[in-house]
Amino acid sequence: FYTADLHFDHALVSGLRGFASPAEHDDAVCARWRAAVDDRDIVWVLGDLAVTHNPSRLAAVLDRIGELPGVKHLILGNHDTAHPRFRDAHRHQRTYLQVFESVQSMARRKVNGIEVMLSHYPYAGDHTESDRDNQYRLRDEGRWLMHGHTHSPVRWTGPRQVHVGLDAWSLSPVPESEIARIIAQSSEPARSPSSTAGSGTDNPATEEPGCSARS
């Protein structure tokens, strides 16, 4: 499974997602995670667990994530205190490693034999007028990329870009089988996304059978 932009205990994002309070939002995110993921599953979280540098608030968020099922790996987002955009990032790695099996800025995976990069940031795109943090973005050299950050309802955000953030997937983690389906729908690697990019309602998730540990 893949997901991004949990934004626990964040009043602004909770309100934008239609919840009356951060607590209500966080309960809904946890319920949908538990409905999709079991203890054997592997979950890659592509950043932005919370927007806080307060140690006690971050500890509470990590405690809650630690209670969720699945083997978890973290790709750091711009709001995560261990992200290298912060000068003291090295001081916070151990905090996240109490919950996550690995903590890194990017990763490389295979989905149905196809090389896929993981990053919080897309190759291009943002939820602001211009792209930010360009020095921390991967360069597009032809591989597919899974990302968060944009808070867009669009799932296919550009040639070879798949947005796995909660805002595009009804607040639920995305099965790897769904990523494989989106990639397979592209007959050309650099095809324009305009014909298939859409809201979070047009790509129903499917189960991936026969796996002892799913992503």
SS (H, E, C) 69-109: CCEEEEECCCCCCCCCCCCCHHHCHHHHHCCCCEEECEEEE
Note the pLDDT of residue 91: 86
Asked if 180 and 211 count as a contact pair (C-beta separation under 8 A), the reply is no
Q: What are the distances in angstroms from CA 104 to CA 53, 74, 101, 112, 179?
A: 18, 7, 10, 23, 21
* 60-86 mean pLDDT: 93
pLDDT at 49 over 60: yes
Note the pLDDT of residue 26: 97
Note the pLDDT of residue 125: 64
Residue 100 phi, psi dihedral angles, 5° rounding = -105, 145
pLDDT at 199 over 80: no
* pLDDT averaged over every residue in the chain: 85
Most confident of 147-151, 156-160, 166-170: 166-170
Burial class (CB in 10 A: 0-12, 13-18, 19+), 181: middle
157: which 2 tokens? 């955000």
159: which 2 tokens? 């040639």
pLDDT at 50 over 60: yes
Judge if pTM exceeds 0.75.
Answer: yes
* 199-211 mean pLDDT: 35
Residue 92 phi, psi dihedral angles, 5° rounding = -110, -5
Note the pLDDT of residue 195: 35
Residue 68 phi, psi dihedral angles, 5° rounding = -80, 150
Cα–Cα nearest to 176, from 36, 68, 66 = 36
Q: CB under 8 Å to 143, separation ≥6 — which residues?
A: 108, 115, 116, 117, 160
Note the pLDDT of residue 24: 98
* 163-185 mean pLDDT: 95
pLDDT at 47 over 70: yes
Confidence of residue 214 (pLDDT cuts 50, 70, 90): low
For residue 173, the SS3 value is coil
**Dihedral of the CA atoms 112, 114, 115, 116 (nearest 10)?**
-70
